[in-house]
Amino acid sequence: MRQFFLPEDYKGSRTLLLKGEDHHYLTRVLRYGEDKEFPGRDRDGNLYNLKMVEAGQESCLLSVEPDTTDTTRSGNESENPIPWITVYPAILKGKKFDQVIRQATETGVNSIQPLITRNTVVKVSAGDDEKKRERWQKIALEASQQCGNPAITAISAPLALKNLSLPEEDCILFFHEKMLENKPLHRYLREIPGRLHLFFGPEGGFSPEETKRFLSAGGKPVYLGSNVLRAETAVIYGTGAVQTILREHDRW
C-alpha cells in the first residue's frame, strides 16, 4: 500500500503543515486533494491515519490520527520473522545504481551500504560521498512510501570494501560468479540468523583477495547459476531468493 512517511521532526501533533518536497509529493505527484485519506508512518514505524484538510499552492494541511489497530510495526511476519538484512552492493554507473537502491528497498531490506571494490569502475571523490548518500536516501524514501515498508531503508555513504570491518559474528553471504562451494543457499539459511549481510560485486566481480577475505571471515559463497547476470540484476535476484527462503523457512 502506498503510504507517506511523516517528517523526521514530527512530535505527535494531530495536525501537520507541509511545504516543499512533501507538499509537492502529495499534491503534485500523488495528486491528493482535500478530504483524501491515506496511511502514514513516523520514523519509528508507528502507523497513522492521515487526511488532507487543506491543499494549497504552496502548502497543505493534514490531520493526523494514530492507528490503534496497527499490527505491522515489526515489518515481518510474526510466524516467521525475517532477520535484519543489510545489502552491500558495489557501486555501479549512473542510473544502474539508482535502480539497485530502489529495488532493494522495495524488497524490504533494512539498510544498504554502497561499496567501492577492487573492480569498481565508478570513482567517488572525497567530498562527494555525502551528496551521493543523500540522493540515494531520497530514492529509498520514495521507494519505501510507494511499496509500504514499515520503515525507511537506511543508506550509508560509500565505503571501500578494504576499509570495512566484516561482522564475523553474523551471517555473511557473498555472491560469486563461480561455484566455490557445492552447497545450496537453503543450507546456509537452515538456522535463521539474527543479522544477515549480503555482498554483491561489480560487473567484474570480486577480486581473488576480496574473495579470500570473505572466506577468512566465515563468509559463505552463493552461486546463482551459470547465466551471466548484470550486476544490478544479481542484487535483486540474490536478495529476493534469500528473503523467499527465509519467509518459507518453516514450510520447507
Q: What is the DSSP string of 58-103?
A: SEEEEEEEE-TT---TT-S-TTSPPPEEEEEEBP-SHHHHHHHHHH
Domain with CATH 2.40.240.20 in the chain: 4-66
Diameter of the chain measured on Cα atoms? 61
Domain with CATH 3.40.1280.10 in the chain: 84-247
Distance CA 24, CA 10 (A): 18
**The CATH number of the domain covering residues in 84-247:** 3.40.1280.10
Ordered per-residue pLDDT tens for the chain, 252 residues: 589 999 999 999 999 999 999 999 999 999 999 999 999 999 988 999 999 999 999 999 999 999 988 765 544 444 557 899 999 999 999 899 999 999 999 999 999 999 999 999 998 887 889 999 999 999 999 999 999 898 999 999 999 999 999 987 899 999 999 999 989 999 999 999 999 999 999 999 999 999 999 999 999 999 999 999 999 999 999 999 999 999 998 887
Q: Tell me which fold the domain 4-66 belongs to.
A: Ribosomal Protein L25; Chain P (2.40.240)
Is this model's pTM higher than 0.75 or not? yes
- Cα dihedral 78→79→82→83 (10° resolution): 80
